[in-house]
Structure 1
Amino acid sequence: MALEKATSFLSSLLGGGGAGDGEPAATVKSIIIYPVKSARGLEVPQAPITATGFRWDRQWLVANAKGRAYTQRVEPKLALVQVELPPEAFAEDWQPTSDDHMVIRAPGMDPLKIPLAEEHTTIDEVSLWEWSGSAYDEGAEAAEWFSAYFGKPSRLVRFKQVSETRPTNPDYAQGYKIMFTDCFPFLIASQGSLDALNEVLKEPVPMNRFRPNILVDGCYPYSEDLWKTIKINNLTFLGVKLCNRCKVPTINQDNGIPGTEPTETLLTFRSDEVLRPSHKNNRQVYFGQNLVCKDSLSGKGKGKIIKGLKKLSGGADHMKICSDLNSEQTVTEFREGDGLLGSLVMSMAVPPKSQVAPLALAKEACASMVSGWKQGPEGWMESQSAPEPQA
């Protein structure tokens, strides 16, 4: 009986069926695209895959007079900028015409229309984090609009794919590339993780604080942290690094006002101080998992569609792991251990209010999952903190 419970628990943890029917437990609940970096997301029913992530995701950014990118870290008013794209823009193989526009809105501003098919002049010395290069300038009207909104000289630019390449960190994802996203092509988070966090917050927060591309439901809280391989619509995604969070989750996306939560609460159970006490940056917190699409390297995934409400298949062989369980070991006993592995089970694997304890869960089983999950030069959660952009 204990082995069956452990099998069900690990199955749900890894995204597999928990009822022994072989069906995936987790589903894609929402797909969110962020056409303009740090502006509001656009929830869509489906999205095509490209070599740099979902189509239209972070193709544009707003830059200051020196070409440096704005983000909500330094310009929280970006949270109030809304973006609209034609519904057909997310259909497979759709190409824009001269009649198709991206529409941008913000409080106190008239709508701004940006042609999707037109390429403007190129400007040099645009920079975002470690990258600098050339980009398409979206013109004087867009520059005047954003300059008026921010109260200082600003320009809207579009990533110039024909000449520019921005690779991901090769320590975590060799050979992949992105446009104006921070680090990796995709970010996944689960509704279960948000629900668990909101149980301990004084005031609940919505998922838009964490800005995922793929929102899943039907799995245990924080189980997405341990997913190595995820299959959606026959496309293979790889989990490459937990997402270390900046100050953006503390910014209210409805009014652009920053605060201290949920980061202050996450520090108590999702920080390096808890998960890796020996790590020097012990105030870093984690929520969500960065992904790459394996099929994008070969071109097999180009143009393929990811749809909402699709079931996920976890890549770990949980039945094989469970076959080695020692029924005398329990979650409670395991949580008494010290170090990274014990903290992981306490903060990620156990649902709110310890609903599953005590379940049989051998340390060897979880150790095999985590040991195979290490990425990067210093481990699976290693943070490569980028410098703050200068406004």
Structure 2
Amino acid sequence: MPARVAEITYYPVKGCAGITVTEAEVTPTGLRDDRTYAVVDEKGDFRWQWGNPALALITPELKDGELWLSAPDRETLHVPPDGSGADVWLTDVLGEPSSLVRPPAGNNGRLHVVSRASLDLLNGKLMERGAEPLPMNRFRPNVVIDGWPTPHTEDGVGRVSLADAELTFTERTIRCAITMVDQETGLRSGPEPLRTLADYRREPDGIAFGAYFAVLRPGKVSVGDAVAVA
């Protein structure tokens, strides 16, 4: 089976839930609207899911360039251009002083790519040790590729074409404790997947799963597009 784009997800607010779409524009700095916003604490430091797992339950949506925020048992908030109201809403949801900001570079101008073969290998190893298989959203990719028969092909390719867009490998994704946050419940779990990944994916700089790619040629990408490796 030829390799194809299986899923596309962007994250309007860094650390919050992603929005899965059937097509997206790949800009010179990554998927359009990916990590446009972020949540920071009173010191201005980014909030992240291991410290604030409830971030996973905040669903941001961009409609005609305007941001909406929703969360379980909370009234959906329309964030006006000046951002007013967002800080109070976020503080209420997270239980700690929080503010909405627009960081200068949400994901360092890259796309995060993971293949289904990589997840299938991991889930097989998890089940061998009696653990539950995990969904792809634990790893928060931008693009999921199906059809690469060898797990972790994303680690070893140089250039990848997705329809009109062309990407180039930059580095493997080093995983952190965020992978142990259940994206559906917003609760910390563990020790998986890091315990099992450490058995076979440990690198000198950490545990690797997935890869980051920079944009060589912008374009439109859709689910079902063929993936070509250069």
TM-score by length of 1: 0.55
Residue 108 of structure 1 deviates from its aligned partner by 2.4
* Alignment of structure 1 residues 90-129 onto 2, 5 Å: 96=64, 101-115=66-80, 118=81, 120=82
Match of residue 209 from structure 1: 138
Match of residue 313 from structure 1: 228
Residue 152 of structure 1 deviates from its aligned partner by 2.2
Aligned residue pair count:
224
* Alignment of structure 1 residues 120-159 onto 2, 5 Å: 120=82, 138-139=83-84, 141-159=85-103
Name which of 180, 190, 195 aligns with 2:106.
180
Match of residue 168 from structure 2: 238
Alpha-carbon separation, structure 2, partners of 1:184 and 1:53: 5
Deviations 1:26-62 (A, max 9, x none): 1001110000001011001111122321111000011
Alpha-carbon separation, structure 1, partners of 2:140 and 2:76: 24
Residue 184 of structure 1 deviates from its aligned partner by 4.9
Contact 2:116 2:146 in 1 (8 A): yes
Q: Does 1:50 align with 2:27?
A: yes
The one-letter code sitting in structure 1 at the alignment partner of 2:215 is C
Q: Does 1:292 align with 2:206?
A: no
Q: Does 1:196 align with 2:121?
A: yes
Q: Does 1:260 align with 2:191?
A: yes
Give the gaps of 5 or more residues in structure 2.
Answer: none
Q: Does 1:223 align with 2:153?
A: yes
Match of residue 80 from structure 1: 57
SS at match of 1:313: strand
The one-letter code sitting in structure 2 at the alignment partner of 1:150 is L
Higher strand proportion: 2
SS at match of 1:196: helix
Residue 84 of structure 1 deviates from its aligned partner by 2.3
Alpha-carbon separation, structure 2, partners of 1:152 and 1:53: 31
Residue 150 of structure 1 deviates from its aligned partner by 1.7
Alpha-carbon separation, structure 1, partners of 2:122 and 2:26: 30
TM-score by length of 2: 0.92
Contact 1:47 1:305 in 2 (8 A): yes
Q: Which portions of structure 1, spanning 4 or more consecutive aligned residues, are displaced by more than 4 angstroms?
A: none
Higher helix proportion: 1
Q: Does 1:34 align with 2:34?
A: no
